[in-house]
Structure 1
Amino acid sequence: MTRMQNQSNLQVTFSKRRDGVFKKATELSTLCGADVVVVVFSPSNKPYSCGHPSVESIMNRFLGENPPTDTDAPNPIVIAHQNANTDEINRKLNRLEISLEREKKYGEALQASRKEPPIEKLSSFDLKNLCKALEAADEEIERLVSIKKERGFEFPYQTIGSAFPPLRVIEHSSSDSDEGSSGSND
């Protein structure tokens, strides 16, 4: 092995290897209950450290200064990592809640726009259009059923339309509409 000459490759390799060393030190601390500290200086002479329970407490103990009072104190690096994860989760939750509220309002607006007047209050023109739309829907359903039957699809139940005669719109004179006719004769 020889020292890398390319500075960008050197920095990338350092970052990856540093994370690996810190991870192994954390695993050693977790698995064995050991107090661990790792101090590394980057190629650009920046210090990086990782320790459990904390770098300061272990360094003070190593140097004989201020013996540790609480060796079970949480690692500040771990706490910072947990807080960062919590913050990210909270941001995602807030975005989802805003999106949910937006979708609820959109759904309410759709429901409000779909409210139709009762059939009794529809004009004869609206009733004729409704009948035409229902007939078109009935024809489309029959077309799809025939395609399914051709392909061997079996229907376990009768289709709804086969139990009732089809609705037909019958034109009435203006005197008939005054009598309150429903507009169908079957």
Structure 2
Amino acid sequence: MDRQKIKIAKIEVKNYLQVTFSKRRSGLFKTASELCTLCGIEIAIIVFSPARKVFSFGHPNVESLIDRFLSRNNTNNNPIANNSLQLVEAHRNANVCGLNLQLTQILGEVEIEKKRGESLDQMRKTSQSQCWCEAPIS
């Protein structure tokens, strides 16, 4: 079953606009979260709904990223602050890399166990079909 193509145009009906925004917003935040996990990046997203409500997503959090972005010019003039930030970021990146490695290993183990379960189910079905003569007569 193929997806239908949707014409990209501004949605005029306000209810449809709000529903579409809600669905797309959660997808956007989910994709941003996956990007943070996979690549070990920091991200801040701020969106305004059609009703003018503010929604945000940030990793590690929006406030710290915005503060760092706004004060970026001030820290560039201070080499001690730059070195400290680089050390903290390197340590955090090392932790993220370790966690990503653990996640990859665990996902591999889960996949192996799923395949093992499928083969056990297949063996059980095969053994049940071979013993048809021992089944009770109804």
Query: RCO greater where, 1 or 2, for CA within 8 Å and sep 6 or more?
Result: 2
TM-score, normalised on structure 1?
0.36
Structure index of larger Rg:
1
Greater percentage in helix: 2
- TM-score normalised over the length of structure 2: 0.48
